A = this chain, B = another copy of it.
């Protein structure tokens, strides 16, 4: 079955669309990428989203948002399908997260019924609400995809995603789904990107070339490593509310002297990110053999090198590789989650989200 997954992340920069052939062979599912595009949001729609996120939108704009998103998704999907000559039978749309505060509520805007009516295809949407309603965090939802695609009967793996935060799914060889562990290990790109902005005015450190040129500020690194989040045991998750730009600014002011090279801040923050990843792999996936990296941070070659070196220095035997589908993964994961929902299969993993039970995620419109 050809399924389209549509993903729009919290950075509100692009509509990612992946179409995947999804097949079921007994208990095993295969997900093969057929096509992928990432297209920018149109300006008016992006402005509307940002006003809603900022809490400055009117009631009318809040009501319009799910419909304007549906219209935007429909247009992007039509372009995608004609450019790639693909004809999906099902569309899974994550929607735009406007609010996410478990255990009370979560809001991924984007009208499934409107999108279904516009494109004349079944649409699965609103993936996080059901898990939240049964006591889960509504996140992370990608681990079940990691298990389907990366788990191996003989090799112990970790699927690592370096987005704004860094999270990992521990895939012990042959372990069943209901024992899965997945958590945020700490900051991903959030502090590195902020440091790139305040030092060199760049939105991110391409390939990690700035960080590579500097030296680690050891006292600053030591204070960051002592943050209580790092020593907590999973399940745990974090976000920009803990790893704030204000906290980074405070650390920079405290430890970076006017005479020290600007790049040292980036080198230090990159080192923290690498350390927290390696530290968590060693603590919670001690027999890991392979780490497979996705997310924008996978393109920071200096960061990946530092992870590999820190791992070797600590005597670990795992290898690290960048997922060839590092950019496509999240849209593919939601295509898979939509396919599961269509087939009545639960999409959350209670050991990961904290839900009381597995639930079929989302809601299906077939206008």
* Interface residue ranges, A against B (CB under 8 Å): 52, 55, 58-60, 62-64, 66-68, 70, 98-99, 101, 104-107, 111-118, 123, 125-126, 129-134, 344, 359-367
Contact = CB atoms under 8 A, between A and B. Distances in A.
**Oligomeric state, in copies:** 2
Contacts of A58: 55
A344 B365 CA distance: 10
B59 A98 contact: yes
B67 A132 contact: yes
Nearest to A341: B366
A62 to B, nearest CB: 6
A113 B363 contact: yes
Contact of A60 (B99, B115, B118, B365): B99
A63 B361 contact: no
A105 B66 contact: yes
B105 A126 contact: no
Given A63-B107, A67-B104, A367-B359, A117 B134 contact: yes
A130 B116 contact: yes
22 contacts: A55-B58, A59-B99, A62-B62, A62-B107, A63-B98, A63-B99, A63-B105, A68-B105, A113-B130, A113-B362, A114-B130, A117-B130, A117-B131, A123-B363, A130-B367, A360-B366, A361-B367, A362-B365, A363-B364, A363-B365, A364-B364, A364-B365
Contacts of A70: 133
Contacts of A99: 59-60, 62-63
